[in-house]
Amino acid sequence: MNTLKEMDTIPALKPITAAWITGLLNKPDDLSGLLEKWGSPVNIHHTASFEQNYEEYRQVFEELDLDHLVFFARKANKCKGFVTKAKKMGIGVDTASLEELAQCLEAGIAPEKLVVTAAVKNRELIKLALHNRVLVIVDNEDEAHQIQAMAEELGSYAKIGIRISGFFYEGEKLYSRFGFDIEEVEGFLRNRVGEGKSLSRLQYSGLHFHLNGYSTDQRSVALIQSMELAKRLQAHHFSTQFIDIGGGFLMNYLESREQWLKFQEELRAAVSLKRPPITFGNDGLGFSLIDGKIQGGLNTYSFWNDTCKSGFLKKILSYSLPDGTDIASMAKQLNIQIRMEPGRSLLDQAGITVSRVAFRKKDSRGDWLIGLEMNMTQLYSSSADFLLDPYVINKETLSDAEAVGVYFTGAYCLERDIVLKRKISLPQLPAIGDLVVFINTAGYMMHFFESNAHLFPLAVNLFVKEETFGSPLTDFEED
């Protein structure tokens, strides 16, 4: 058999692992106890990491002496625990639905620290926002009229920002299905918004954008074009108090760039049939073999990044125009507050998912399948796959163990319920009851797409109680 040789070449992708996680990995009995109590899988969260991530952003703004407000994009994680933490930290929360907004208000977050950016805003959401004087980001004219109608009904006014898109970048317009085209905003505000006009109850206060993708240059250029628009609006007495640059701040999941490059090289080789598969069914994750040639690109998040979080923000804000003026000076000169709405990156190292092994079997291709007490929606990426090696905690370490490559499979009765599409190399075959720990899953991964098909209950979400971190079981509270 060539298995050992093959095992050696299954590329690893070792995740950056915060100290609190390593601490838990070293307490396998406590972790097993949690799963006995709460079922499998459980999601465990840690708000101190969330706070640290915010601190990084805050420092960048402080260094540049910029007026700023950071909103946590709530949609990246459903737990209330981060809302409570955001309140304690005095940061804002970006809400994208009625329920998200209602929870934040109930948690006592000040209305001026909230924003509604929901893609679809129903009457109830608009009503709640207006009633509490929460800023609403307007996406289109129909929405503006619905807000006007609700304000009339309530006898109130609506504090609004305008979402814009269609920025010019390298000679072309950046497409987005969201927002007003930047070229239409001036006319819209001048002709429609304000006293004596059809949208008399809308009070303009700022501009907002959220770009798809992860380009800092595009964000810089969009911010400059927004500031230029703000200047033109000022001439017509529309005062821009803030520009919100949205989210999409890259983070880094991996320890090694070499591993990241090696993985892609091996994946291309596997898809070209030059080596044994390293993904389930030789899934190319975006690469495919057409007419003997490898086509396409990796269709996943870029799990390795050198410019991330605060470095990413710094790069956006330190962009200079050909005449030497930079973004930070422009914003200060215009007296504009810079806002941002990071979701994923504020949750860096803030959560893990722990699951239990139910069975092992060999499939007809000869691959080991490790059945987990969880399903694919409990670790589901909006891109092709989540590419980090999990940690496996073996109850018993075997002295005569052989390395093995495995696929983790889930509990839904679907062929496609493969929890990770990557083949994972392990020092020994996991046993029933062993734990599999997925790192850094708090941002989008653990429950953004979670469903309860088969009536499986949703995973329980626990938070590490910061003040008592260190003693068993009582360390955690349910969200």
Ligand X SMILES: *Cc1c(COP(=O)(O)O)cnc(C)c1O
List residues binding ligand X (CB under 6 A): 73, 75-76, 94, 117, 210, 246-249, 341-345
Query: Closer CB to ligand X, residue 442 or residue 459?
Result: 442
- CA distance to 93, 151, 202, 320, 384, per residue, from 157 (Å): 22, 5, 6, 38, 44
Enumerate the β-bridge partners of residue 160: 136, 204
CB of 75 to ligand X, least distance (A): 6
The structure tokens 């953004």 sit at: 448
Query: Closer CB to ligand X, residue 308 or residue 459?
Result: 308
Q: Which of 294, 213, 276 is nearest to 248 (CA)?
A: 213
Amino acid at 234: Q
Task: Show the beta-strand stretches assigned E in 213-345.
Answer: 242-244, 288-290, 293-295, 337-340
Give the count of beta carbons closer than 10 Å to the beta carbon of residue 23: 13
Rounded to whole angstroms, how far apart are CA atoms 43 and 23?
A: 16
Classify residue 134 by burial, with Cβ atoms within 10 Å: 0-12, 13-18, 19+: buried
Query: Closer CB to ligand X, residue 40 or residue 441?
Result: 441
CB of 343 to ligand X, least distance (A): 3
The structure tokens 């070229």 sit at: 183
- Rounded to the nearest 10°, the torsion over CA 11, 16, 20, 23 is 30
Asked whether 443 and 344 are in contact (CB, 8 A), the reply is: yes
Q: Which helix (H) or strand (E) holds 105?
A: helix 98-106
CB of 188 to ligand X, least distance (A): 20
Enumerate the β-bridge partners of residue 72: 93
Structure tokens at 123: 């009457």
Q: Which of 348, 192, 278, 280 is nearest to 12 (CA)?
A: 278
Query: Closer CB to ligand X, residue 233 or residue 442?
Result: 442
CB of 213 to ligand X, least distance (A): 10
Query: Closer CB to ligand X, residue 246 or residue 405?
Result: 246
Helix (H, G, I), strand (E, B) or coil at 458: coil
Query: Closer CB to ligand X, residue 75 or residue 447?
Result: 75
CB of 410 to ligand X, least distance (A): 25
Q: Which of 396, 387, 289 is nearest to 10 (CA)?
A: 387
Query: Closer CB to ligand X, residue 76 or residue 86?
Result: 76
Query: Closer CB to ligand X, residue 76 or residue 350?
Result: 76
Query: Closer CB to ligand X, residue 34 or residue 445?
Result: 445
Which residues, including other chains, have CB under 8 Å from residue 437's CB and lie 6 or more apart? 21, 24, 25, 31, 352, 353, 354, 355, 390, 391, 392, 393
Query: Closer CB to ligand X, residue 345 or residue 381?
Result: 345
